[in-house]
Structure 1
Amino acid sequence: MRAVQITEFGGPEVLKIADVAEPVPAEGQVLITVDRAGVNYADTHQVENSYLSKAELPLIPGGEVVGRTPDGRRVVALVGSGGYAEKAVAHAPYAFDVPEGVSDGDALALVLQGTTAWHLLKNSTHLKPGESVLVHAGAGGVGSLAVQLAKLWGAGRVIATASTEEKRKQVLELGADAAIDGDPEGLKERILEANNGKPVDIVLEMVGGKTFDESFDALARFGRLVTFGAASRQSAKAIEPGRLMKGSKTIAGFWLADCFKNPALLGDPLAELFGLAQEGKLRPIVGGDYPLSDIATAHEDLRARRTVGKLVLDPTR
């Protein structure tokens, strides 16, 4: 079968189409004929072996797929790796039935980015009605859903960062109350200005480096910042305990893989998200549908911040 396989770690240039053997499901696994595979920013880290969990070569990247099982079920599944292919295997508890009215792209957006946004707001920061929320990369896969969910769940003011005027316009259309440039220089001041001169209660942060530092400095008393990525590939400066104590601030971390030992931590939020999408209350954004043969371009576009929403791959092309 056709698949994207890497035999060395590196940038988008190491992503090559290869002819590999079809995967054989073990006991407790299901085989899926892939209609679309999801592309995530974490995949760019996996390909260069800079992710939280280390990879081994040779590797077929790709953490989630949507497609059909041999018995005809239409499922979206988290596979860990192996998704960039015509067929993939998933552990049965992590293959979720896709309801009518939810497209392939929507299902892929919700199974990983959607459940991430759900946990960031519900479990990591414990959003309360009326609180202000800052969402970094508001036009991205997680960000575009987090903006909408924060508004649905009663946030008082939602501020999103985005790198271009076009993206800032898009996040406003999704329901953000303000959209600002995410450049780290002067970011704290722009955050405060966008929040009517006041610090923010919640920050969803996935850039790292100076963006993390500026965002922390813009936190209100009892504010919560959750970090769930490092797109800048830079580390933030250390936070001394006294800086947390003054202002009673909280820093949390989130990694969706920590939910994998309990399928309900994924299935229950996903069912809620599917329902919201079916009711028209939540609109996943599919920002690019690439042929499998153009996977390197997809990674280049993602790393260069040229994309919005969820990116998907078509293994038939």
Structure 2
Amino acid sequence: MEKMRALVQRSHRGPADLVLATDVPRPVPGPGEHLVRVGAAGLNFADVMQSHGTYGGGPAAPYIAGFEAAGEIVGEGTRVIGTGAGAFAEYVVMPAAGVLPVPAGWSDAEALGMVLNWTTALAALRPLGEVEAGDVVLVHAAAGGVGQAAVRLARHYGARVIATASPAKHHTIQADVVLDSARPDLAEEILRLTGGVDLVLESVGKATFDASLSVTKPFTGRVVVFGAASGDATLSTHDLVFTHRVQLKGLHIGALATAAPDSYRALLDELEVLIAQGVYPPGTAEVHPLADGPAVLRALESGRTHGKHALDPWQAPRRHLPVPAPGSTNTRRWQAPVGPLAHDAGDQPGQHEPENGGETVVDQHAHLVVLQLEQAGEEQRQRLGDGPHELDERVGRIGPQQDHQDVDDLDERDHCPDAGNHSRGRRTAAGNSHSGHD
């Protein structure tokens, strides 16, 4: 039996127990399935939820993580984007009826988000949100994959867009107004700016739900809920009758594809038009080696990412020099991580400012452990520790984790489709192969 490299979730103790295995049996497609050589696998908040066992109907550990991927159908050469259980691997099986062609001229990484982020954003705006030119649209978690797509689409349809995100991510958002998602007077400021919102895209949940209801226009205003990254919110029938007289709608893109296949097919048809018009451009996912998956998921979980992130199972892992042990009189250099992983290694006691093109000097007091991945023919994973405190294959941090969780980019929590069939002509979603949404 042929083997492959894959990220295996060993328990439901979170991304810390997601490990790189090099001897996983390559999956064998059955009738109506494709074996896809993965070129890029998308990371979504549902992956975080699955790692904790909190996504309804999710897989039982141990399992190969991931569910969104783009790549080449083995034996055919056709490049496709779709969903399938076990996407954080060199190969994944996808339902033949559930794949879409990667648009001409796009890379696999650029196509990620087509069947998840953009369809969710479009569904929230069009069939459910009924957006029209001149509407005021509020988009929460606007720095995330769905949020960025929603902002772009809403403006294309002629809406005025108010977006929320943490201040550090405002530069990534092309809305008419961008507000701090954590400001205590968020609802008052939105009402001051707009007088009332026609449509709210709500994916954060507890932290923003009251504000969303408060700023929505009575009776005509719509609130589309497709996530609860900060926790569940509660609403009573009394609230709807006497306080928040709004139109409240729920969205799960996989459930929509199953229950209303014609509507889902219309979404994909519209996406094709948007791609042809240049409204939906190639994605700009930040691509990481497969071994970095656990660290990227930790960054996603704690709200330290923006936009789309992907794993390339064929990209060589970054190599690092080991950090001196405490008490050592030597200092050594290691290549500073970039992107969200920089925060896994940054701001630690004993570090100096980056110098010499991104290298950082680490002295004997540094609280970092860097795993050096050795590659002798086939990369072999070196492990330290056991259980939930195991360090991932790139860089780990010893000590307390940050206690502030930003809700930006966590909109993937509830609106991922089940890894099912999303086909042209026959687009349905079936099964719970990843059991989790970006």
TM-score, normalised to structure 1, is: 0.91
1:83 to 82, 87, 93: 87
Structure 2 residue 11 is the aligned partner of structure 1 residue 29 = no
Instruction: Report how far residue 54 of structure 1 moved.
Output: 2.8
Write the deviation string for residues 89-135 of structure 1: whole angstroms up to 9, x where unpaired: 11111111112123322311222100110111112222122111000
Alpha-carbon shift at residue 310 of structure 1 (Å): 1.1
Deviation of 1:251 after TM superposition, in Å, equals: 1.2
Separation (CA, whole Å) in 1 of partners of 2:103 and 2:285: 22
Work out whether residues 106 and 282 of structure 2, in 8 Å CA contact, stay in contact via their aligned partners in 1: no
Change (3 A) 1:43 1:131: same
Name whichever of 130-139 and 261-270 sits farther off. Answer: 261-270
Asked if structure 2 preserves the Cα contact closer than 8 Å seen for 1:287 and 1:307, the reply is: no
For residue 77 of structure 1, report the CA deviation from its aligned partner: 1.0
1:53 paired with 2:57, answer: yes
The structure number with the bigger radius of gyration is 2
- Map 1:101-250 → 2, pairs under 5 A: 101-155=105-159, 157-165=160-168, 167-172=169-174, 176-183=175-182, 185-195=184-194, 198-221=195-218, 222-232=220-230, 234-244=231-241, 248-250=245-247
Which sections of structure 2, spanning at least 5 residues, go unmatched? 316-438
Distance 2:262 2:291 in 1: 35
Say which of 246, 250, 255 aligns to 2:252.
Answer: 255
Q: Is 1:9 matched with 2:34?
A: no
2:173 alignment partner, SS class: helix
The letter for the 2-side match of 1:7 is: R
Aligned residue in 2 for 1:98: 102
The answer as to whether partners of 2:214 and 2:244 remain within 8 angstroms in 1 is no
CA distance in 1, matches of 2:102, 2:8: 28
3-state SS, counterpart of residue 103 of structure 2:
coil
Is the Cα contact below 8 Å between 1:121 and 1:150 reproduced in 2? yes
Letter of the structure 2 residue corresponding to residue 181 of structure 1 = D
Tell which deviates more after alignment, 186-195 or 289-298.
186-195
**Given the superposition, is the C-alpha separation of residues 13 and 153 from structure 1 closer, same or farther in structure 2, using an over 3 Å criterion?**
same
Measured after TM superposition, the shift of residue 267 of structure 1 is: 4.8
Stretch moving more, 238-247 or 85-94: 238-247
TM-score w.r.t. structure 2 length? 0.67
Q: Kindly indicate whether the alpha-carbon contact (under 8 Å) linking 1:35 and 1:314 is maintained by their aligned counterparts in 2.
A: yes
Moved more, 119-128 or 131-140: 119-128
CA RMSD between the two structures: 1.9
Say whether the 8 Å CA contact 1:31–1:88 is kept in structure 2. Answer: yes
Percent identity over paired residues: 39
Q: 1:303 aligns with which of 301, 313, 317?
A: 301
Deviation track 1:237-258 (CA, whole Å, cap 9, x = no partner) reads: 3233443465641111111120
Alignment partner of 1:294 is 2:292: yes
2:77 is the counterpart of 1:72? yes
Q: Secondary structure at the match of 1:106?
A: helix
Whole-angstrom distance in 2 between the partners of 1:90 and 1:227: 28
Distance 1:189 1:308 in 2: 26
Q: Is the 8 A contact 1:102 1:274 kept in 2?
A: no
The one-letter code of the counterpart of 2:248 is I
Counterpart Cα distance in 2 of 1:102 and 1:247 = 44
Q: Comparing 275-284 with 4-13, which one deviates more in the overlay?
A: 275-284
Paired residues of 1:288 and 1:307 also in contact (CA < 8 A): no
Greater relative contact order: 1 or 2 (C-alpha under 8 angstroms, separation 6 or more)? 2
**Structure 1 runs not aligned, ≥5 long:** none
Q: State the Cα distance separating 1:269 from its structure 2 match.
A: 2.4
State the distance in 2 between where 1:73 and 1:259 align.
27
How many Å apart are 1:300 and its aligned residue?
1.5
In 2: Cα distance, 1:257 partner to 1:192 partner: 33
Query: Kindly tell me: are residues 244 and 91 of structure 1, through their superposed partners in 2, closer, same or farther at Cα, counting changes over 3 Å?
Result: farther
Equivalent residues of 1:32, 1:87 under 8 A apart:
yes
Shift of 1:152: 1.1
The 2-side partners of 1:10 and 1:184 are apart by: 32
Question: What CA distance in whole angstroms lies between the structure 2 residues aligned with 1:60 and 1:37?
Answer: 12
After superposition, give the CA deviation of every residue in 1:169-205 in whole Å (9 maximum; x if it has no partner): 3213xxx11000111622211222332xx11111111
- Identify if the C-alpha distance between structure 1 residues 230 and 316 changes in structure 2 by more than 3 Å, giving closer, same or farther: same
Secondary structure of 1:209's counterpart equals coil
Q: What count of residue pairs does the alignment treat as equivalent?
A: 308
- CA deviation vs aligned residue, 1:205-260 (integer Å, no higher than 9, x gap): 1111131111111111221111111111x221323344346564111111112034
Q: As a proportion of its length, which structure holds more helix?
A: 1
